[in-house]
Amino acid sequence: MIGKQLLNYEIKSLIGEGGMGNVYLGEHVSIGRKVAIKVLLPELASNDEIRNRFKNEASVMAHLQHPGIVALHDYLDQDDGLYLIMEYVEGIEFTDLLKSLTEPLPIDRAKEIMKKVLSAFAYAHKNKIVHRDVKPSNILLTKDDEVKVLDFGIAKLLGDTQFNLTKTGTQVGTVYYMSPEQVQATELDHRSDIYSLGVTFYELLAGFCPYKSMTSEYEIYNKIVRDPLLPLTDTMGAAYNQVWEVIKKATEKEVDRRFQNCDEFIVALEAEVLKPVDEKKTVQAEKEVKAAPKRAQNQTPAPVTEPKKKSKAALFVILGIVIIVLIVTAVITSGEEETVYEPDNTEVNNDGDLAQDGAYLEGRFPEASERRLSSRDVQSLSNEELGIMRNEIFARHGYIFNSNKWSNYFGRQDWYSPQYSGVDGMLTQIEKSNISLIKKYEY
């Protein structure tokens, strides 16, 4: 392929490889302009579905002219192959950028970069194009921190049946960045991209994809559909609270609860950025103060009317209302907490001591009784494992389970010694907190 000429462009070198084709550096033979030439792999050229997908990419790119999206110069369908002649960008994929960093990307820089990405997608969405494969490796960053979105191979042109290559019930995209509706293979729109952009922004800030620790596609799919992301603040600290709130909104499971467009996403990123002081207004205000007439030194000031003293009785009434509200709130809160700590199918009504010495060290998840857990400890566990972790806490205190499932399960554990019909009074504050956390992740 090196040295081959396509139209006025000579192929100079290989610069990238992908599942559908390779990308070469090309150069105009007369004016020296560099281009990127994407070539469909020869072994796929006879596959009609792949050929149509390649043609789809050309059709979609032809609709887009935006500084944040790689431009298409030409498309060739020849006997020896299919070719996309595109704008050449000297940049680095987000994926490679993150690998090269020795410390996290500064929050402000990440926000500025992400706003440029969102601007590009806002343009695409307004042109009725859904990318459907948003991920860090499909976004380039130049040395000037400009962005270029690429790879529209599986993009969907809404309302265009000719190039709608997938039907409802067919999954498309890269698993780590799929939206819940992509996982479930249901009808989707531009808000699917917004979810994937939220996950991409998470990775840009944290340096890792929130689903990378998952070991199977089923596990990833389950997490995407059911569970929230690992809080960014858990791993990166409180300084990331504002951007984490933005990411949470972008990655809501229900599409109607997400940002409804990229412009809303951008506004949210700018929400806590201080607006610069309007110097013109400040100067004008100063002039008005200076121009105000000064009171003569011998001028008698106008008499000031003293405000009436507030009634002490009114103050006591307000104070009494506040105290009553606090008492009622405390009672309601304590009542809610009681229901959180009950084991499966039981009524807690008894107090007692530990079932046996050393029981805290037994079971699959002894840490649930030894220390306060975080979401990182439980987010990757299956629902069955979460049930075991929670009920082991009660079993360590010798609780007698009414549920056949847990009675049989713990009956097979040689450390379990059933003695009490209720153990709520024995639970430590750490155990209560852990039970509450575990129940949030169970379904």
Which of the residues are catalytic? 133
138, with CB counted inside 10 A (0-12, 13-18, 19+), is: buried
**What b/e sequence results for 320-340 when a residue is b if at least 16 CB atoms lie within 10 Å of its CB, and e otherwise?**
eeeeeeeeeeeeeeeeeeeee
d(CA 82, CA 61): 15
Instruction: Name which of 36, 27, 46, 32 is nearest 83 in CA terms.
Output: 36
DSSP state of 268: H
Residue 328 in tokens: 């009622």
Instruction: Name which of 384, 389, 374, 372 is nearest 432 in CA terms.
Output: 372
Q: What are the residues facing 83 on neighbouring strands?
A: 39, 76
Q: What are the residues facing 157 on neighbouring strands?
A: 129
Give first-to-last CA distance, the chain, whole Å: 55
Could you give the 3-state DSSP secondary structure of residue 371? coil
d(CA 200, CA 139): 10
DSSP 175-224: GGG--HHHHTT----HHHHHHHHHHHHHHHHHSS-TTTT--SHHHHHHHH
Residue pair 205/240 in contact by the 8 Å Cβ criterion? yes
Name the strands in the sheet holding 34-40, side by side, starting at the edge strand that comes first in the sequence: 5-6, 9-17, 21-28, 34-40, 81-87, 72-78
d(CA 159, CA 375): 42
420 CB contacts (<8 Å, ≥6 apart)?
A: 350, 352, 355, 397, 398, 399, 400, 426
Measure the CA angle with vertex 105, ends 104 and 109; round to 5°: 160
d(CA 149, CA 132): 12
Q: What are the residues facing 86 on neighbouring strands?
A: 36, 72
Q: What are the two backbone dihedrals, phi and then psi, of residue 54, each rounded to the nearest 5 degrees?
A: -65, -45
What amino acid is encoded at 7 in this protein?
L
d(CA 426, CA 347): 14
